[in-house]
C-alpha cells in the first residue's frame, strides 16, 4: 500500500488482490449446507481461527489468546516502552449470514500488517490484529463476548448462562484459550491501548446511494431488548364466541402496530437514530383450532437520544395497558438487556478525515444502528469505526456483498492513520 499518488489509487490496487484472496479463503470455511455459517465455538469457527493463526505467523506475528478468548497477532515494536494500537473485528457469522460482516475488518487488519511488512516499516508501538470472540448474538444471548471480556464487562451471571445443550459460556470461552479466573475477577486487557481501529461493511445503503467511499462513525446508539409477555385464555376456535375471547395474539398484533407506528413517528421527526423492531415471537398453544393463550415477543430498541427512548417506552406501556383492558388479557414488559450508547473518539475521527481526504477519497459522518466491538473498546480506550459500502445495504444473508476495492480503501486509510500516529510521536 505505497502512498504514491494523490488519489491513493495505486495503494488500493496493491492490496485489493490480497484482500479478495483472504475473503475467498474464509468463505470456504463454512457449514457447506448453510452458507455462510460459522457460529462462535463451532468447528467451522475453530477452522477459521486456525487459518488466521497461520496467516499471522506467515506475516511475522506472534500469536496469542487473551483471557477473554480473543485471538490476536502481534507485530511487536522494538521500543522498550511501546504502547499498543489495535485493528480488529470478528470471524464469526450469524446463521446463514454473509462473507463480509466482521471478516472484512479482520482482513483489512491483515492487509495493513502485510503492507507494513512489505515496506519494512518500524512502528514505535505494538500493532495488534484481533479476531474478537463471538461478536454476533448467539446461543447464550450475548453479543460481543470477546470485547466485553476484554473490557471487564462479562459478569458472573452471563458467564454462567447455558445453551440448550447445557453448556456454560465460561467453559466455552475457556476452550478457546480464555482464563475463567481472570474473567470472574472482571480483569481488563486494555492497558496502554492508545488507538483502536475497526473496519466494517455499512449494513445499510447510505454510502452506496451517495457514492461515498467511506463512512466515519461518530456514535453507536443504546441497544436494549424487552420481553413482552401476553397471557390470555385458550379455547376452542369454533365454539368460543368472539365477544367472549381473550386472544393473546390479537393483543400482540395490536401492540406490534403500536410499536411500529410510534417508532416511525419519532424517527420521522428527529434526525437522531431511532428504530424499534419486534422480530421474535413464541405462540402458545400454536394450533389452528385453539385460541392463542400466550404470546412472548422480543422487542429490539435502538436509540441515539435517551429522552426519546424513555418517551417511546412510556408510550408503549400506556398503550399496552389500554390493549390489556380492551382485549381482556394480561401484558407485562421486562427489559432483558441494555447497552448504553457510546461516542467514538473525536481525535481519531479527525485523523481519519484528514487521512481520507489526503488520499483523494470521499467520506461522511455516520451513526451506526448496529452494535460493534468498537463500541465496547470505546468505553475504555480511544476507538474509531470505519464503514465501507455494502451492496444494496444487504447484510446477515448470503447475498451480502462488498467490493474488495472498497475494503482496500478503508485498509489504506487505516494504514496511513497508523503511520501518521507513528510520525506524530503521539504514542
150 and 209, same domain (yes or no): yes
Residue 333, phi-psi category: left (phi > 0), alpha (psi -120 to 50), beta (remainder): beta
Stretch 312-319: mean pLDDT: 98
pLDDT at 88: 98
User: Is 367 part of any domain?
Assistant: yes
Q: Give the integer Cα–Cα distance in Å for 67 and 47.
A: 20
274 and 206 in contact (C-beta within 8 Å)? no
Contact between 71 and 53 under an 8 Å Cβ cutoff? The reply is yes
List pLDDT tens digits, range 376-408: 999 999 999 999 999 999 999 999 999 999 999
How many domains, the chain? 2
Q: Is residue 4 part of a domain?
A: no
Sign of the torsion angle spanned by Cα atoms 151, 154, 156, 162: negative
Residues 178 and 246 reside in one and the same domain? no
Question: pLDDT of 3-58, one tens digit each?
Answer: 334 457 777 878 999 999 999 999 999 999 999 999 999 999 999 999 999 999 99
Residue 290 · residue 281 · CB < 8 Å: no
Q: What was the pLDDT predicted at 81?
A: 87
Both 100 and 155 in one domain: the answer is yes
The band of 243, judged by pLDDT with boundaries at 50, 70 and 90, is very high
- What residue numbers bound the domain in which 176 lies? 9-221+341-424
CATH number of the domain encompassing residue 189: 3.40.630.10
216: its cell numbers: 466515519
CA–CA distance from 398 to each of 37, 97, 271, 408 (Å)? 9, 5, 31, 21
Domain boundary among 289, 317, 339: 339
Same domain, 109 and 189: yes
What gap in Å lies between CA 358 and CA 302, rounded to an integer?
34
Q: Quick: pLDDT tens for 273-282.
A: 999 999 999 9
Report pLDDT digits (tens) over 168-192: 999 999 999 999 999 999 999 999 9
Assess if residue 53 is contained within a domain. yes
| Nearest CA-CA partner of 220 in 182, 275, 297, 290 | 275
**One domain, residues 253 and 159:** no
Angle between helix 9-27 and helix 103-118 axes, rounded to 10 deg: 130
Give the β-pairing of 214-220 and 274-284.
unpaired
What is the structure's pLDDT at 80?
A: 83
Same domain (yes/no): 127, 92 = yes
Tell me how far apart the alpha carbons of residues 294 and 249 are, in angstroms, rounded to a whole number. Answer: 7
**Quick check: is 1 in a domain?**
no
Whether 3 is in a domain gets the answer: no
Q: Which three cell numbers stand for residue 63?
A: 500469536
Last residue of some domain: 299, 320, 339?
339
The residue with cell 470461552 is 173
Q: Indicate if 202 and 119 belong to the same structural domain.
A: yes
Same domain, 115 and 204: yes
Average pLDDT of the residues of the chain: 95
- Global confidence as pTM: 0.91
Question: Pick from 419, 410, 52, 418: which is nearest to 200 by CA?
Answer: 410
In a domain, residue 169? The reply is: yes
The Cα–Cα gap between 297 and 309 comes to 19
- Mean pLDDT across the stretch 95-107? 97
CB 388 within 8 A of CB 394: no
Q: Same domain, yes or no, for 209 and 233?
A: no
- Is the same domain home to 80 and 178? yes
- β-pairing verdict for 84-89 and 126-131: parallel
CB atoms within 10 A of CB 120: 6
> Is residue 422 over pLDDT 90?
yes
pLDDT beyond 90 at 246: yes
Question: In the chain, pLDDT over 70 holds for what percent of residues?
Answer: 97
> Does some domain include residue 245?
yes
pLDDT of residue 219: 97
Cβ(390)–Cβ(204) below 8 Å? yes
Whether 256 is covered by a domain: the verdict is yes
**CA 197 – CA 201 distance, rounded (Å):** 14
CATH of the domain at 240: 3.30.70.360
Same-domain pairing of 135 and 249: no
Q: DSSP 3-state assignment of 385? A: strand
Mean pLDDT of 231-240: 98
> What is the structure's pLDDT at 425?
64
**Final residue before a domain boundary, out of 287, 309, 339:** 339
Average of pLDDT values for 223-241? 97
Residue 70 has pLDDT above 90, yes or no: yes
Q: Which position has the grid cell 475504555?
A: 380
pLDDT of the residue at 270: 83
376 in the same domain as 398: yes
Amino acid at each position: 500500500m505505497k502512498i504514491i499518488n494523490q488519489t491513493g489509487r495505486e495503494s488500493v490496487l496493491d492490496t485489493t488482490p490480497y484482500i479478495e484472496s483472504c475473503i475467498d479463503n474464509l468463505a470456504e470455511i463454512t457449514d457447506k449446507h448453510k452458507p455462510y455459517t460459522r457460529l462462535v465455538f463451532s468447528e467451522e469457527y475453530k477452522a477459521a481461527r486456525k487459518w488466521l493463526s497461520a496467516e499471522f505467523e506467515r506475516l511475522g506475528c506472534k500469536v496469542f489468546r487473551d483471557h477473554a478468548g480473543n485471538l490476536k497477532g502481534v507485530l511487536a515494536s522494538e521500543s522498550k516502552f511501546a504502547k499498543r494500537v489495535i485493528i480488529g473485528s470478528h470471524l464469526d457469522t450469524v446463521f446463514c449470514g454473509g462473507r463480509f460482516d466482521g471478516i472484512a475488518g479482520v482482513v483489512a487488519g491483515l492487509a495493513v500488517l502485510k503492507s507494513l511488512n512489505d515496506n519494512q516499516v518500524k512502528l514505535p508501538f505494538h500493532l495488534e490484529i484481533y479476531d474478537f470472540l463471538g461478536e454476533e448474538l448467539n446461543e447464550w444471548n450475548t453479543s460481543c463476548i470477546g470485547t466485553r471480556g476484554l473490557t471487564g464487562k462479562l459478569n458472573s451471571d452471563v458467564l454462567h448462562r447455558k445453551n440448550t445443550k447445557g453448556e456454560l459460556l465460561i467453559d466455552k470461552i475457556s476452550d478457546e484459550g480464555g482464563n475463567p479466573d481472570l474473567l470472574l475477577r472482571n480483569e481488563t486487557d486494555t492497558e496502554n491501548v492508545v488507538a483502536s481501529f475497526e473496519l466494517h461493511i455499512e449494513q445499510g445503503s447510505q454510502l452506496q446511494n451517495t457514492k461515498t467511499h467511506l463512512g466515519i462513525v461518530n456514535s453507536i446508539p443504546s441497544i436494549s431488548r424487552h420481553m413482552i409477555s401476553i397471557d390470555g385464555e385458550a379455547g376452542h376456535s369454533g365454539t368460543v364466541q368472539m365477544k367472549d375471547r381473550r386472544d393473546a395474539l390479537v393483543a400482540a398484533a395490536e401492540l406490534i402496530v403500536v410499536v411500529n407506528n410510534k417508532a416511525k413517528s419519532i424517527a420521522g421527526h428527529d434526525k437522531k437514530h431511532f428504530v424499534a423492531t419486534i422480530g421474535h415471537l413464541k405462540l402458545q398453544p400454536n394450533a389452528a383450532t385453539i385460541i392463542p393463550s400466550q404470546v412472548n415477543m422480543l422487542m429490539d430498541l435502538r436509540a441515539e437520544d435517551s429522552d426519546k427512548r424513555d418517551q417511546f417506552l412510556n408510550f408503549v406501556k400506556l398503550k399496552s395497558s389500554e390493549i390489556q383492558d380492551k382485549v381482556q388479557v394480561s401484558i407485562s414488559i421486562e427489559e432483558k438487556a441494555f447497552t448504553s450508547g457510546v461516542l467514538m473518539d473525536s481525535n481519531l475521527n479527525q485523523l481519519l478525515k484528514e487521512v481520507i481526504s489526503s488520499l483523494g477519497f470521499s467520506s461522511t459522518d455516520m451513526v451506526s444502528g448496529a452494535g460493534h466491538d468498537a463500541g465496547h473498546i470505546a468505553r475504555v480506550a480511544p476507538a474509531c469505526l470505519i464503514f465501507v459500502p455494502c451492496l444494496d445495504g444487504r447484510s446477515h444473508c448470503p447475498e451480502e456483498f462488498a467490493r474488495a476495492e472498497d475494503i482496500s480503501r478503508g485498509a489504506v486509510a487505516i494504514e496511513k492513520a497508523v503511520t501518521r500516529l507513528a510520525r506524530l510521536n503521539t504514542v
